[in-house]
Structure 1
Amino acid sequence: MAALNIVLYEPEIPANTGNIGRTCVATGTRLHLIEPLGFRLNEKEIRRAGMDYWKDLDVTTYINYQDFLDKNPGAKIYMATTKAPNVYTEVSYEPDCYIMFGKESAGIPEEILVNHQDTAIRIPMIGDIRSLNLGNSVAVVLYEALRQNNFENMNLEGHLKKFKWE
């Protein structure tokens, strides 16, 4: 079974990474963390944001971006950045693609982006807003990729405990 992949390049805020980890568990998505991290993975903020889901997370860490590339040869990588020419809904996400997000304070470095201009994507915003929160950005793009892949293996219907929908 193919699984989407979220890549965080040098994340700085533990609560963001914890929330993203919880989203990954809920969607069957793999999480990849490229060091250096702005926190330790055993910090209380990660556990609080990820709740009791962190133990179920498929997470891999890499010592740097080159280590990530070496261990994932041929990976199709979409780069989420405010500098992108493409809106995130204008591309077709493969079932096993990688979607990379940069660190909260600076995004993905331009020396990386220049090699991925054709797969750089952006979330539209108005005015001079610098960016959305990292956890929100991941959720927006990830759920579009999941939608395009028909929410494979996900629960598509909820049920009330006491009542039935009419």
Structure 2
Amino acid sequence: MRIVLYQPEIPPNTGNIARLCAATQIPLHLIEPLGFSIEDKYLRRAGLDYWEHVQVQTWPNWAVFLRSKEPGRLVFTSARKGTMHHLFAFQPDDFLVFGPETRGLPDELLPGDALCVRVPIWGQVRSLNLSTCAGIVLYEALRQTGMLPEAANQ
């Protein structure tokens, strides 16, 4: 399982997701351009002192990432389309791809046969926070694939 952030824009969201990745030992891929510097103090603050435990790799663009990525399915996320996350059948080698906070994943990134998931929203909001969605989707994927350790924090 891996998390991919396509052109993330808000440092605290990426910092929170990096912390999530450190907590679950899940690699984090960042696709440039980024809306901030990796040295950004807000990014570091959100990740606290966990950055040394994050397996993070930055890619100059989507095409380079695709050419270089390890085997595994790309599972795209959307605020409005796709299978609800708890009904989707995740696999252990999936790349969970999240789009930029203000605009989501561009249509040209999603091939016609793209696997797409969404976290259902039934309240009066347009979307959930990126780091909240990443946590929800990742933990469901880990649960489904048996990758949640039974003895965590014991």
**TM-score interval, smaller chain:** over 0.9
2:109 is aligned with 1:112: yes
Could you tell me how far apart the structure 1 residues matched to 2:25 and 2:38 are? Answer: 20
Deviation, 1:22, is 0.4
1:79-90 correspondence to structure 2 within 5 Å = 79-90=76-87
Structure 2: gaps spanning 5 or more residues: none
Q: Please point out which of 124, 127, 131 is paired with 1:131.
A: 127
CA distance in 2, matches of 1:36, 1:14: 13
Rg larger for: 1
CA RMSD of aligned residues (A): 1.6
Q: 2:145 aligned to 149, 160, 163, which one?
A: 149
Q: Name 2:30's counterpart in structure 1.
A: 33
TM-score (normalizing by structure 2): 0.92
Q: 1:91 — aligned with what?
A: 88
**Following the alignment from structure 1 to structure 2, what is the Cα–Cα distance between the partners of residues 73 and 47?**
27
Q: 1:18 aligns with which of 15, 18, 23?
A: 15
Which residue does the alignment assign to 1:66?
63
1-structure distance, mates of 2:24, 2:70 = 24
Q: Distance in 1 between matches of 2:107 and 2:120?
A: 19
Q: Which amino acid aligns with 2:46?
A: A
- CA contact under 8 A between 1:7 and 1:33: conserved in structure 2? yes
TM-score scaled by structure 1?
0.86
Distance in 1, Cα, partners of 2:18 & 2:49: 11
- For 2:13, the aligned partner's letter is N
Matched residues, percent identical? Answer: 42
| Unaligned residue ranges in structure 1 (runs of 5+) | 159-166
